[in-house]
């Protein structure tokens, strides 16, 4: 996975992952009002909805979090 791939206006794959990781970990540990993810489709939708500025599917970001399920 290329974490340094440019996605949008200076944002790299790594930047999107860094922005979402703490929240993903909180959700999966049961410390959020959002229930832990059970399917990869739930993760995909959540990633797109919660990415800063860019609300389109980024396969590298999705795959990173899908692999953490």
Q: Is the pLDDT of residue 11 over 80?
A: yes
- Tell me the Ramachandran region of residue 63: left when phi exceeds 0, alpha when psi lies from -120 to 50, beta otherwise: alpha
Q: What is the pLDDT of residues 16-59, one digit of tens each?
A: 999 999 999 999 999 999 999 999 999 999 999 999 889 999 99
At residue 4, the pLDDT reads: 80
Q: What angle do CA 47, 48, 53 make, to 5 degrees?
A: 110
The pTM (predicted TM-score) of the whole model is 0.89
Element (H, E) at 36: none
Residue-range domain boundaries for the chain: 6-66
- Cα end-to-end distance, the chain, whole Å: 17
Q: Alpha-carbon distance 4 to 35, whole Å?
A: 31
């Amino acid at each position: 996975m290329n974490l340094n791939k440019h996605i949008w206006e200076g944002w790299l794959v790594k930047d999107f992952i860094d922005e979402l990781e703490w929240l993903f970990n909180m959700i999966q540990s049961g410390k959020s009002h959002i229930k832990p993810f059970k399917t990869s489709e739930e993760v995909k939708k959540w990633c797109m909805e919660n990415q800063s500025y860019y609300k389109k599917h980024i396969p590298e970001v999705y795959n990173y979090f899908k692999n953490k399920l």
